[in-house]
Chains A and B, each alone.
Chain A
Amino acid sequence: MHPFTLQRPADLAQAIAFGAHAGRNDAAIEYIAGGTDMVQLLQEHVRRPTVIVSLRKVLDTSIEMGPSGLRIGAGATMAEVAAHSDVAQQFPLVSQALLNSASPQVRNQATIGGNILQRTRCPYFRDIGYASCNKRAPGTGCAAIHGENRWNAVLGTSDHCIAAHASDLAVALAALEASVEIGSSHGRRSIPIADFHRLPGDTPHIETILEPGEVVTAITLPKDSASLRSHYVKVRERASFEFALTAAAVALDMDGATIRRARVALGGVGTKPWRVRQVEQALTGASLDRAGIVRAAALAANEAKGYGGNDFKIQLMQRAIVRGIEIAGGKA
């Protein structure tokens, strides 16, 4: 690790006053919460802040069900959220995505706010032995585009970066139309999870819309009957404790055997959690007939672009969607 000074503020206002920039890979001042991803990246010299500001004992850790939905304090751990009865009963997709993430030890430490800010698993980003990575070192190029890109994205990529977003939780949150509550010295603002992460474009080192001094303070989930009929499909290279090659989060609102409304988001294939609205629209009013679902799922491939090693994901993500819809709909 490069040297840094560690600040342990007593409350959120003090933490915010340090003005750390959470969503940038070249930030000189960084926040740390659970730290499970941050410490890895510090150990590997991928992140080299000069000041680290702790959010321990500063973030809200409560999980509360209100009339409009669920509010999860950003400091709640993955394990606490997954096991919470309101989450498990009202938003099973969230519990499922979390319990399919990481290991029990990491879930006991990692926070929900940090989870959606975790960095990509792109091997070129995480290994400073490679000179080229626009996300880690802006302007140096992308080694993945012509390199080993089995783990990389096929949706939302640019000529500058094809790194896949790594969070399972964020995919479930995208399907459930969650919002991210952000605190700063100006007060609080709330933005849809769909607008929280940025596409890489020509600035892949800037990953979210967070400004300096902004802290994720909570995740909110709107109450919705469709949240109950849901399923998280995760395809990975080993049975447990592994990131998704491809994932599909599906939430269905059914009217008998007919889909009234479907919400589908993909993981492991996008540069950010990827909502597939074309697929959703094609499923509106459809039955659970296999051929119809397959046709709808194929629309996910419309904007997809393979880079050789990850071409297989374009087919795999369609199959993950089909599986997710059949299981959520009670057919499989």
Chain B
Amino acid sequence: MTSFDANRRALLKLSALTGSALALSELWPESAMAAESTSGPAAGVASPLSPIDVALRVNGREHRLALDARTTLLDALREHLHLTGSKKGCGLGQCGACTVLIDGKRMKSCLQLAALVEGGEIQTIEGLANGEELHPLQAAFVERDGFQCGYCTSGQIMSGVACIREGHTRSAAEIREWMSGNLCRCGAYDHIVAAIQDAAARKGA
């Protein structure tokens, strides 16, 4: 494909979606530079946006959704799939209450646009237990009283599962460092660390 084709295709695709809202100058680097002073948030008036098709694979099940492009993975899980185990604390990646696993890696679902995690295997707290049998870390949280209000717990557990898998559990200090992306405002940290140590030891046993 020539670069002209790429440009042309992009333009057609873009104008189909945005109508006349975007000037040609915003597509071509050269002309965009000339029009620099007029390009800015106010220059492009957003046209009505139609939902986009997004296929999400969550806890082994495929879901087809029509979402506003702005939908975060967290909002898709909670508001569209009604999987409310993942919590919205700050919505800005600072608290970790929304932690899920994507292809086995822990991430903050509030910082992911849902449309950009298509094709990924998403695991939430709802997909952790084996039927009625709790995951060892869930059981350890119960045993060690790893929570007070419970709001951060699902994020702590999802993050803890990954922390154990990554092998960052050789000491309490190492667990604290590698769990630093999950805040607990009740201050149950000692119990959370103990629960992770228990589950890690059980796994190694």
Contacts and interface: CB of A to CB of B under 8 A. Distances in A.
Interface in A1-45: 1-9, 13-14, 16-19, 21, 26-29, 32, 35-36, 39-40, 42-44
Contact of A109 (B27, B108, B166): B108
Contacts of A102: 181
B70 A28 contact: no
B116 A29 contact: no
B149 interface: no
B83 interface: no
Contacts of A184: 29
B123 interface: no
Contact of A240 (B92, B166, B176): B176
B128 interface: no
A104 interface: yes
Contacts of B3: 13, 17, 185
A74 B106 CA distance: 21
B5 to A, nearest CB: 9
A79 B177 CA distance: 14
Given A51-B18, A104-B106, A211-B33, A17 B39 contact: no
A240 B70 CA distance: 30
B interface, size bucket: 35 or more
Nearest to B109: A105
B14 interface: yes
Contacts of A36: 93, 108, 111
Contacts of A106: 93, 108, 111, 181
B96 to A, nearest CB: 6
Contacts of B112: 35, 39, 109
A9 B6 CA distance: 10
Max count, chain A CB within 10 A of own CB: residue among B14, B29, B46, B70: B29
A312 interface: no
A28 B32 CA distance: 10
Q: For the complex, would chain B's binding face be called helix, strand, loop or mixed by DSSP majority?
A: mixed
A7 B14 contact: yes
B18 to A, nearest CB: 6
B106 A14 contact: no
A213 interface: yes
A4 B29 CA distance: 20
Q: For the complex, would chain A's binding face be called helix, strand, loop or mixed by DSSP majority?
A: loop
A37 to B, nearest CB: 9
A301 to B, nearest CB: 32
Contacts of A104: 106, 159, 162-163, 166, 168, 178, 180-181
A154 B46 CA distance: 39
B117 to A, nearest CB: 9
Interface in A247-286: none
A3 B22 contact: no
Nearest to B158: A105
A241 B178 CA distance: 9
Nearest to A205: B40
A50 B92 contact: no
A105 B10 contact: no
B95 to A, nearest CB: 10
A92 interface: no
27 contacts: A1-B70, A3-B69, A8-B115, A19-B27, A19-B32, A26-B41, A27-B39, A29-B26, A35-B113, A39-B93, A39-B112, A40-B92, A43-B92, A44-B92, A50-B45, A51-B18, A51-B26, A79-B105, A104-B159, A104-B162, A105-B107, A105-B159, A108-B105, A109-B107, A211-B29, A239-B180, A241-B181
Given A1-B70, A18-B10, A40-B93, 17 more contacts: A2-B46, A5-B18, A6-B115, A13-B3, A17-B6, A28-B40, A29-B27, A36-B108, A103-B93, A103-B108, A104-B162, A105-B106, A109-B108, A109-B111, A185-B3, A214-B29, A241-B180
**Shortest Cβ-Cβ A-B pairs, 3 listed:** A103-B181, A50-B44, A240-B180
Interface of B: 1, 3, 6-7, 9-11, 13-14, 17-18, 21-22, 26-29, 32-33, 39-41, 43-46, 49, 52, 68-70, 72, 91-93, 96, 99, 105-108, 110-113, 115-116, 159, 162-163, 166, 168, 176-178, 180-182
